[in-house]
Amino acid sequence: MTSHRLSSGGLIDRSAPLNFRFDGKSYSGFKGDTLASALVANGVKLVGRSFKYHRPRGILTAGSEEPNALIELRSGARREPNTKATTAELYEGLEAASQNRWPSLNFDVMSVNQLFAPIFVAGFYYKTFMWPAKFWEAIYEPAIRRAAGLGRAAGIADPDYYDKAWAHYDVLIAGSGPTGLAAALAAGRTGARVILCEEDFTPGGRLIADGGTIDGMPAAEWLSRTLAELGSLPDVRIMTRTTLFGVYDGGTYGAIERVNDHVPSPPEHQVRQRLWRIVAKRCVVAAGALERPIVFAGNDAPGVMMASAMRSYIARYAAAPAKRMALFTNNEDGWRTVETALGAGLQVAAVIDARAEISPAHRSLASKGGFPVLHGSVSGIDGGKNGVRKISVSLTGGARAEVEADGLAVSGGWNPTVGLTSYHRGRPKWRDDIAAFVPDGAPPGMVAAGAANGAFGLGACLREGFAAGVTAARDAGHGNGSGSTPVADDEAFSLTPLWHVAGKGKAFVDQQHDVTASDIELAQREGFESVEHLKRYTTLGMATDQGKTSNVAGLAIMAAVTGKSIPETGTTIYRPPYVPVAIGAFAGHHRDETFHATRLTPSHHWAAEQGAIFVDTGLWKRAQWYPRAGEKDWLESVTREVKAVRGGVGFCDVSTLGKIDVHGADAGAFLDRVYINTFSNLAVGKARYGLMLREDGIVYDDGTTSRLAEDHYFLTTTTAKAGLVMQHLEFCRQVLFPELDVQLTSVSDQWAQFSIAGPKTRDLLKEIVDPSEDLSNEGFPFMGAREVALRGGVKARLFRISFSGEMAFEISVPARYGEAMARNLMIAGHPFGVTPYGTEALGVMRIEKGHVAGPELSGTTTAADLGLGKMMSTKKDFIGRVMAGREALIAADRQVVVGIKPTDKARRLRSGAHIIPKGQTPGPDNDQGYVTSVCFSPTSDHWIGLALVERGRERIGEIVHAHDPLRGEDYDVEICNPVFYDPDGGRQRG
Amino acid sequence: MAEFSWETRSPLDRALVAGPNGASGDAGVSLTEIRNFDLVQVMARRGKAAEMAEAAKARFGVAAPETPNAVGAADATLIWSGPDQFLALSTGGKHSIEALAPGFTGSASLSDQSHARVLISISGAKARTMLAKLSSIDLHPDVFGVGAAAATSMDHTSVTLWRGADRDGQAVFNLLVFATFAESLWHTILDSAAEYGVEIGHPEELA
Amino acid sequence: MKYSIFSLARAALSGHKNWQRTWRDAAPKDRYDVVIIGGGGHGLATAWFLASEFGMKNVAVLEKGWIGSGNAGRNTTIIRSNYGLPGNTGFYELSMKLWERMEQDLNYNAMVSQRGVLNLYHSDAQRDAYARRGNTMRINGIDAELLDQPALKKMLPFLNFDHARFPVQGGLLQRRGGTARHDAVAWGYAHAASELGVDIIQNCEVTGFVRDANGKVTGVETSRGRIGAGKVGMAVAGSSSRVADMAGLRLPIESHVLQAFVSEAIKPLIPGVMTFGAGHFYVSQSDKGGLVFGGDIDGYNSYAQRGNLPVMEDVCEGGMAIIPMIGRVRLLRQWGGIMDMSMDGSPIIDKTPVDGLYLNAGWCYGGFKATPGSGLVFAHLIARDESHKEAARFRLDRFRTGAVIDEKGQGAQPNLH
Amino acid sequence: MRIICPFCGERELGEFTYLGDAKPVRPAADAGEDAVYDYVYLRDNIAGVMDENWYHGGGCRAWLKVTRNTLTHEISGVEAAAGAGARQVAK
């Protein structure tokens, strides 16, 4: 048995001992322990060092509000900094280390900071470290950064997995104490779908440690009966190890389930944690209340503990935080700790009660327990890193006393947990009778009950919980359930507010951030009186405990210094999450290669077989080029592919283009309104290039659209804009022009589409298309489009369009034939040297041909900038028409698309270089444009590019300077016609 | 003359490996792909919803769904896909787009989706639990009963989901997924299901 | 009261009892030469520049709540001048240069920390776009470097190089970029402006404009009474439309919510500011140790100052995708601010059609880094009645003429900027 | 936030895309530059109840007019765009 383990009692499983290590030293505990309770049981008092002054700290609480007992849990890639020992479940082999100390917890060099404490007051850094300016980044800041922070993150990729799930319930209940269980019973019995989230690994809340009598039976028995009944209801779910952390609009709640944090590592195929998005019609916040400290000098010494926490350690974990304890309380409830301690056979040195009167029952308890009751306040602690030894007391009336004890329980009253109810900027309201804030202005559908609502008695909790459950179920559409409210007595509760005991020495308000009462006074003196200023200036409440034990005390002290009341002083805005949540949990499985979905083209696996190199284009993987053995780099492969197309025939999977079926009697009229050019007059069997503007007159997207029937067009978009164009067209159809008879269907995934290009395209196609189809220039002229039969009976759509400038077709087959199509093209094209080509070669050929693409359609260019101004119809209205005519969009000095070529033909061009007039020093005033797209043109045998250049079209032939300081390059280029290849277009028409 | 084959290939051809997957023991989730179907999107022309409904009734013998439901006809399933539109799922060419077109002339626009989607069947004791990781909609049996359908998203990807007839007392969820996303979503489903144990069946033909 | 290590040490001897208010707690006078509406960073900086650069000391800053309570206190603290379009480039560099001397100018340590701002790229197209932008910066005399993947691996070895959905190819780095302590910026300007005689009036909400017979603005109605003014400047980003409405103006602005997040404090992990464009995620680490991160705006008009869960998930997904070591680091706090999203993503600093009323608005989420520059050019506009040369393009009529400054190329759709 | 799609029922935010104020009406072809400028660029930017265009792209692809309070995010009404279904719409 460990030194501070009680010989009996508690909810620990004494048959399951567990070994663990803290700071390298071995200890043992039991199943059912937290790391904190196991440390208590082993008599460990010093567990951490504070943020700024590196003061020794012990365990203050027994829950997720813990400010001090923060440790690094686990090791290696699983190291979890700032983990609360008070919520970490013990498991066999657990490893934990204290943090923010060097070289050891016991001897921490940085505790020298305490010597500078007179200087290191709130906000001191705003007043210094300013001279010389360069010293900030070089010296001061690195030192501050090293000193700040608490634990160390792993610094290695997280090896565990997370997932996310949705849940839908009528009633969501936060907390499984008496209030939450009563609410669950009431709602569950109506048949409502109920989910109850409990942060702890054991349901029961304060019932576990504080007991009581409910419906005439011991609380433990009532608890197990209630859990059994709830378990028998099919639509009631109790989730332990699950914290409700946030409430979002529309009755959506965030909860984090710690699925496998209580084991060394998650079993195979299981996640570490799961993020729940719970959609609930009603929510009952039964999250209880948190006991609050009283601020006094030395209140941060190890061994000073919240009174309720001390009860939990003794009653729930059978671990004694102190063998001879003292209690400092300002209320009735604190005394329960004395009862619990005495009941466990521990000694009580004294009770220091700030109230003028105590009850006769407690007075007789004191005489029975043989300890004095001192009326007054604790004014100082004598003790060090090994814990409390002596307690100084200022007695009412001015005298002083001392109490020898090895632990001090403190109770300053209780603060309802108002976080969840305040996340929609609801401001809690002050209640004088309990001297605490209670929820007000909760989000729609949410209600607080029990201690979370300021009802501290057991009977009141059960009543409020049960009533809230009934109401919630009814509001969610369920009738009455059976059964009645569980009954229990209400304990007496009297409290004399006491926030701060004046005294010598540092009195901590926010223990984690080392914010003292005098820091608050200083902030007030300097004008930081608003609570939000106070928080920001002193960092009060901004630590990992989110101020759960410090916020209210902080503003009470501020209220006292400013002479305002506490409600006048107000609270800061409450912000989620209620407890810190691992970033990995919010990400779920969206990490690494599964960060986003991947779209594969119909010929993807075939291309992979060919050894294609793939490039990410949006969500797509596209074949970028197809390297062949012996080729030294991508450029060699791409050049080969281009030459093969220009000299023979090649093909490329262009299925990534957006494809939309446009049906309806008004399809043509509709297209006239969304494109700048006219489509209603397009003949059936023909394709036309179209350009769309945004309503602000800027180019949105382009593509070819074919008319397959009188009332059926087939529209293509760029790969990048496919989804957005569909959305835009639906907007036009449904909102702008609802009178038109048009139907839109995305057929992007229905068709595998290939571009087949090169002078031998027709030869190849003849092998693949049914011989009855006329592919001659007369029978299938440039910009023709129609359905054809392929050999073997598959039907395809054939379009005589060209992006490469060659004699070319695009052919669509139903997508499941896509892979066969690629194989068949290889077979059919074999005699003609057919070559698959990727997006790089596609890009080279479009640049050679002067076709604009993504880099030129940048969202800032007009049709005229792109050299397509003449396409704008003057005979009809279309989206963007009016705004395109604004003065700045038609200004003569706009940057327009031109070609560029280097004067030194050996020179490589790069996109992103800027265009500067020759002979001038580059500067903001002569920055006349930039290079948008470049490639090595196998056809020209040198690099070529497209650029946006001021007045470019007037400057064809001018030599300008390509300025690229980023890459240390400067060279001359000639502005030229953007169409480098076959400017007459004879090849594509031939 | 070159010889070539027009063998079709499902987008899940590589990804689907029949057999057990994930945790060992009794599989909580059964997964397979249903292949070989005709799928036609039928959208009413402006002002022609009633005419489309009549045409559908004449063609399939049942009324097309006007709310998010899947309706079984003798030889087809009609799945709601949006206001005044539905998907006709069938096999054997009986209700291919060519076969349907004459009956809907003037009342609806038809678009072939047979190759645009992959059909995945999900069942098993943990199917609903697993789907809760992917789907934001409520699949509780009281809410999403047999025949319920939804146009929704999973993993940011549009899907059509409907509940077929129960099999062995277990719910069966049918999922139409866009073909180019299918492999990616398949892996996501497997990841989500792994902890429950998965039995991946050999692809089946649409019955 | 001069702030220094010496004054601090002296104060320590007296238990810090002698510190004065950081700024005077002024009561409103009847009339000021200039009234600035909005006690955020921009309003306070404007007041300080009016007093220090333009000799106008009869100035009041009116704040409806507590100073710095808007976006000044609710941002991810990044400063940079890596903009690519004329109008923005010069302005943000002006601002950057002012950041570099701010603490000495103000005698207040705002922890301006030039630890570098890096934008990652994942494709040739992104690289080209960054090259264009980086060259613009260089041509404007601003530092910029284009890093390739090996350089990045050395600098940020923890990025996901091996299992990335969108592999990192390189990045555009501005070493002079970095972060500053956001609240301290507001306090610093308030401190320095107050020392020069500017009245900073908190809890004073403007409820209307006072106009003369010609329509000229001659003052404001407030919750603390009428205050006369020679000129009135609006610097109320987030509330611009609401305040402009009191003067009968409609603006090319929508209010949107942008979330930001901070993790628990940990020992130094991430050196500078890093943005992951392919994943809507950016991050830096504060001096206190928290990872400060964010992503895209929530996407819909909102004055509610709270964020939604899907965007929060989206941001964390981006974070995990690019820095998988942050999986076990815990998110501590989330908050949402109201963004003045303009129609081209760039700000407006101009006279309004209402005589005597000057507008500083539309900062989207670029407002924090602009604070000192905005203060200077807005003060210039108010004092001289003409635009500062680095703000000449931030005209209100640019939407009418088409001379927009659209860095993202998204057009008149604010939620996409 | 959750939006009740008139066709699909209640769905979560992630299925929808936002466009903005639904009040401005696209001016007639001959309305002139000022009218179009107003339509494209100026916004009431209402702090309160506002009609907005939302797209159910992750569901039935209907455009919706959602009445929503920008101060509280409360949604008080949703209706389908005039052209969402097949019903006849007068010009």
- pLDDT attached to residue A967: 97
In CATH, what number is assigned to the domain containing residue C62? 3.50.50.60
Of C308, C412, C414, the CB nearest to D13: C308
Do both C147 and C45 map to the same domain? no
Fold adopted by B19-35+115-205: Gyrase A; domain 2 (3.30.1360)
State the 10-residue block means of pLDDT for chain A, 990 residues long.
89 98 98 98 95 94 97 97 98 96 88 84 90 86 88 96 98 98 98 98 96 96 98 97 97 98 97 98 98 97 98 98 98 96 97 95 95 97 91 95 98 96 93 96 96 97 98 94 92 92 94 95 95 95 94 95 94 94 97 97 98 97 98 97 98 98 98 98 98 98 97 98 98 98 98 98 96 95 96 95 96 98 96 98 98 96 97 97 97 98 98 97 97 97 98 98 97 98 92
Averaged pLDDT score across all residues of chain B:
96
Give the C-alpha separation, A493 to A332, whole Å.
Answer: 5
pLDDT, one tens digit per residue, over D22-75 is 999 999 999 999 999 999 999 999 999 999 999 999 999 999 999 999 999 999
Q: D14 contacts in C (CB within 8 Å)? A: 310
- pLDDT attached to residue A476: 97
- pLDDT attached to residue A493: 85
The SS3 assignment for A731 reads helix
Interface test with D, best of A281, A693, A735, A746 (most D CBs within 10 A): A735
Task: Say if the Cβ atoms of D61 and A730 lie within 8 Å.
Answer: yes
Residue C18: HSE in the Cβ half-sphere, 13 Å Cα cutoff: 11
Give the C-alpha separation, A951 to A697, whole Å.
Answer: 19
Kindly provide the ipTM of the predicted complex, given to two decimals.
0.98
| Contact (Cβ atoms closer than 8 angstroms) between residue A176 and residue A219 | no
- pLDDT attached to residue C277: 83
Task: Say if the Cβ atoms of B178 and A749 lie within 8 Å.
Answer: yes
Q: B82 contacts in D (CB within 8 Å)? A: 7, 60-62
Give the largest CA-CA distance in chain D.
Answer: 41
Task: Say if the Cβ atoms of D86 and B137 lie within 8 Å.
Answer: no
Q: D83 contacts in A (CB within 8 Å)? A: 733-735, 737-740
The SS3 assignment for C414 reads helix
Please say if the pLDDT value at position B1 is more than 70. Answer: no
Please give the residue of chain D at the shortest CA–CA distance from B45: D86
CATH 3.30.70.1520 maps onto chain B at 38-112
Interface test with C, best of D43, D72, D73, D74 (most C CBs within 10 A): D43
- pLDDT attached to residue A120: 87
The SS3 assignment for A376 reads strand
Tokens coding B124: 């098993």
Please say if the pLDDT value at position B3 is more than 90. Answer: no
Give the C-alpha separation, A325 to A342, whole Å.
Answer: 10
Is residue C4 a part of any domain in this protein? no
B48 has a chain D CB within 8 A of its CB: yes
Q: D89 contacts in B (CB within 8 Å)? A: 46
Provide the residue type at A846 as one letter: R
A121 has a chain C CB within 8 A of its CB: yes
pLDDT, one tens digit per residue, over C384-399 is 999 999 999 999 999 9
Domain boundary among C342, C371, C403: C342
Task: Say if the Cβ atoms of C266 and A149 lie within 8 Å.
Answer: yes
Residues B24-29 have a mean pLDDT of 96
Give the C-alpha separation, A805 to A645, whole Å.
Answer: 10
Task: Say if the Cβ atoms of B153 and D15 lie within 8 Å.
Answer: yes
Q: How far is D30 from chain B, CA to nearest CA, in Å?
A: 27
Q: How far is A421 from chain C, CA to nearest CA, in Å?
A: 14
Reply yes or no: is the peptide bond before residue A132 cis, omega within 30 of 0. yes
Q: A158 contacts in C (CB within 8 Å)? A: 320, 324-328
Closest C-alpha among A33, A483, A465 to residue A287: A465
List A348's β-bridge partners, or say none: A325
Main-chain phi, psi angles of C58, to 5 degrees: -90, 70
Interface test with C, best of D2, D18, D41, D45 (most C CBs within 10 A): D45
Do both C195 and C273 map to the same domain? no
Q: C326 contacts in A (CB within 8 Å)? A: 153, 158, 583-584
Report the number of distinct structural domains present in chain C. 2
- pLDDT attached to residue A116: 83
Is residue C3 a part of any domain in this protein? no
| Domain extent for C234 | 24-108+182-252+344-416
The fourth-level CATH superfamily of domain B38-112 is Heterotetrameric sarcosine oxidase (3.30.70.1520)
Q: How far is CA A431 from CA A355, A417, A565, in A?
A: 19, 14, 12
Give the C-alpha separation, A461 to A487, whole Å.
Answer: 10
Of A250, A252, A735, the CB nearest to D53: A735
Task: Say if the Cβ atoms of D20 and C254 lie within 8 Å.
Answer: yes
pLDDT, one tens digit per residue, over B169-204 is 999 999 999 999 999 999 999 999 999 999 999 999
Q: Where are the domains of chain D?
A: 2-80
Q: Which of residues 644-703 of A touch B (CB under 8 A)?
A: 655, 661, 663-666
Q: D8 contacts in B (CB within 8 Å)? A: 68, 150-152
Q: How far is A225 from chain D, CA to nearest CA, in Å?
A: 37
In CATH, what number is assigned to the domain containing residue C336? 3.30.9.10
D82 has a chain A CB within 8 A of its CB: yes
Of A590, A696, A886, the CB nearest to C317: A590
Q: Work out the percent of chain B whose per-residue pLDDT is above 70.
A: 99
Do both C70 and C217 map to the same domain? yes
Please give the residue of chain D at the shortest CA–CA distance from B160: D59
Is residue C395 a part of any domain in this protein? yes
Task: Say if the Cβ atoms of B48 and D80 lie within 8 Å.
Answer: no
Residue ranges of domains in chain A, CATH in brackets: 162-289+417-475 (3.50.50.60), 293-406 (3.50.50.60), 498-562 (1.10.10), 623-654+751-844 (3.30.1360.120), 658-746 (3.30.70.1400), 892-989 (2.40.30.110)
| Contact (Cβ atoms closer than 8 angstroms) between residue A913 and residue A969 | yes
pLDDT, one tens digit per residue, over C314-359 is 999 999 999 999 999 999 999 999 999 999 999 999 999 999 999 9
- How many CB pairs (< 8 A) connect A and D? 75
Tokens coding C92: 């943000």
Fold adopted by D2-80: Folate-binding fold (3.30.2270)
pLDDT, one tens digit per residue, over B30-59 is 999 999 999 999 999 999 999 999 999 999
Q: Which residue is listed with tokens 């040369």?
A: C389
**B2 band by pLDDT with thresholds 50, 70 and 90:** low
Do both C140 and C88 map to the same domain? no
C-beta atoms surrounding C162 within 10 Å: 9
Burial class (CB in 10 A: 0-12, 13-18, 19+), A716: buried
b (16+ CB within 10 A) / e for C223-259: eeebbebbbbbbbbbbbbbebbbbbebebbbbbbbbb
- pLDDT attached to residue A386: 87
- pLDDT attached to residue C163: 96
Q: D71 contacts in C (CB within 8 Å)? A: 303-304
Averaged pLDDT score across all residues of chain C:
96
Task: Say if the Cβ atoms of C413 and D40 lie within 8 Å.
Answer: no
Lowest-pLDDT range of A112-121, C50-59, C176-185, C359-368: A112-121
- pLDDT attached to residue A861: 98
Please say if the pLDDT value at position D91 is more than 80. Answer: no
Of C125, C127, C269, the CB nearest to A153: C269
Reply yes or no: is the peptide bond before residue A577 cis, omega within 30 of 0. yes
What DSSP state is assigned to residue A489?
A: P
Is residue C14 a part of any domain in this protein? no
Q: How far is D19 from chain C, CA to nearest CA, in Å?
A: 8
Q: B176 contacts in D (CB within 8 Å)? A: none
- How many CB pairs (< 8 A) connect C and D? 67
D7 has a chain B CB within 8 A of its CB: yes
